[in-house]
C-alpha cells in the first residue's frame, strides 16, 4: 500500500504521516528531509557541478535519523537557515530528478506513507490514498513558532510568519513540480484539529 501526504510547510505533515505509518505498521518516508540533506551538502561544497556531487551522495534513513554520506544530520537540517535555503534549492530540476528517482526506488517493494510536496502529483502518482494536509497560515506559523521557541527564545512570531509565507510562495509557484492538490487527493484542514483528530480522520479514510 502506498499513501501520499502532501501539504505546505508547518501543516504538521511529518508528525501526522509518522503517526499514521506507525499505526498501520508501515514505513514512513520524509522527503523534505532528503531535500534538506542535499541542500546542506551543496552549501558545504565549493564545486558547482551539481550532477557530480549528487552522484557521489548517499542518503539513508535509520529509524528516526537521516544520514548524509554516513553522518547523522537529523538536527542540522532542521535549522531555520536550512529551511529557507532548501525552499530555494528544491527548485533545481537536477536535484528533483535525482531525489524523485531515489524516492520511487525506496517505495518500490514496500508499503509506505510518503510525505512531501509532490508525492501525489509526481513521485507516487498511483498511490492508493492521497491526502492534501493544510491549515491556516497563521495557525501553521504559531505551531512552528512554539516549536522554535523551545530552542531559541529570541525568535519573533512575525519573522516566522513571513518566512512561512515566503516558503509557501516558493513551493506553490516554482516551475518544477509545484505544491498542488491533485484531483484525487482528499483535503484535510487541520486548523481546528489536534494531532489525534487529524490522524484518526486520515485512518478513517484509509479503512
Task: List the binding residues for ATP.
Answer: 7-15
Rounded to the nearest whole angstrom, what is the least distance from the CB of residue 177 to ligand DC in the complex? 7
Q: Which residues are annotated as a binding site?
A: 7-15
Closest to ligand DC by CB, 100 vs 199, is 100
- Shortest separation between residue 146's beta carbon and ligand DC, angstroms: 16
Strand intervals (E) in 36-117? 59-62, 65-68, 71-72, 112-116
Instruction: Kindly tell me which residue out of 3, 5, 9, 199 binds ligand DC, with binding defined by CB under 6 A.
Output: 9
Least Å distance, CB 133 to ligand DC, is: 11
Helix (H, G, I), strand (E, B) or coil at 188: strand
Q: Are 186 and 132 in contact (CB under 8 A)?
A: yes
- How many Cβ atoms from other residues are within 10 Å of residue 200's Cβ? 15
Angle, to 10 degrees, between the axis of helix 137-149 and the axis of helix 157-173?
130
Number of residues that bind ligand DC (CB under 6 A): 13
For residue 164, CA distances in Å to 62, 153, 179, 187 come to 29, 19, 14, 20
The nearer residue to ligand DC, 98 or 116, going by C-beta atoms, is: 116
Mark 87-116 with x for binding to ligand DC (rule: CB under 6 A) and - for no binding: x--x-------------------------x
Q: Terminal CA-to-CA distance of the chain, rounded, Å?
A: 12
Q: Starting at the earlier edge strand, list the strands of the sheet with 129-134.
A: 27-30, 112-116, 2-6, 129-134, 186-189
- Considering only residues 13 to 52 of the shown chain, the ones binding ligand DC according to CB under 6 A are 31-32, 35-36
What span, in angstroms and rounded, lies between the C-alpha atoms of 186 and 190?
Answer: 13
Picking from 186, 205, 181, 202, the residue whose alpha carbon sits closest to that of residue 28 is 202
Give the nearest distance from C-beta 207 to ligand DC in angstroms: 26
Q: Is 171 in the site for ligand DC (CB under 6 A)?
A: yes
Residue 134 as a binder of ligand DC (CB under 6 A): the answer is no
Question: What contacts 139, CB < 8 A, 6 or more positions away?
Answer: 190, 191
For residue 163, state whether it binds ligand DC (rule: CB under 6 A): no
> In this complex, which beta carbon is closest to ligand DC, that of residue 126 or of residue 204?
126
Return the number of the residue (80 or 204) whose C-beta is nearest ligand DC. 80
Smallest gap from residue 143 Cβ to ligand DC (A): 13
Which residues are near ligand DC by CB under 6 A? Answer: 9, 31-32, 35-36, 86-87, 90, 116-118, 167, 171
Amino acid at each position: 500500500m502506498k499513501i501520499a501526504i502532501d501539504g505546505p510547510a508547518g501543516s504538521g505533515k511529518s508528525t501526522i504521516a509518522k503517526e499514521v505509518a506507525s499505526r498501520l505498521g508501515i514505513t514512513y518516508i520524509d522527503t523534505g528531509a532528503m531535500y534538506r540533506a542535499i541542500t546542506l551538502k551543496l552549501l558545504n561544497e565549493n564545486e558547482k557541478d551539481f550532477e557530480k556531487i549528487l552522484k557521489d551522495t548517499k542518503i539513508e534513513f535509520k529509524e528516526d535519523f537521516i544520514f548524509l554520506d554516513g553522518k547523522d544530520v537529523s538536527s542540522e537540517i532542521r535549522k531555520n537557515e536550512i529551511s529557507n535555503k532548501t525552499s530555494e534549492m528544491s527548485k533545481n530540476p537536477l536535484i528533483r530528478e535525482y531525489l524523485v528517482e531515489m524516492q520511487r526506488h525506496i517505495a518500490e517493494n514496500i508499503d509506505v506513507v510518503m510525505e512531501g510536496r509532490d508525492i501525489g502529483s509526481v513521485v507516487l502518482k498511483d498511490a492508493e490514498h492521497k491526502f492534501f494536509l493544510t491549515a491556516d497560515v497563521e495557525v501553521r506559523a504559531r505551531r512552528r513558532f512554539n516549536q522554535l521557541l523551545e530552542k531559541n527564545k529570541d525568535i519573533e512570531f512575525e519573522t516566522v510568519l513571513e518566512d512561512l509565507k515566503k516558503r509557501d510562495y516558493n513551493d506553490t509557484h516554482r516551475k518544477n513540480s509545484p505544491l498542488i492538490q491533485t484531483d484525487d487527493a482528499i483535503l484535510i484542514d487541520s486548523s481546528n484539529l489536534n494531532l489525534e483528530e487529524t490522524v484518526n480522520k486520515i485512518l478513517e479514510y484509509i479503512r
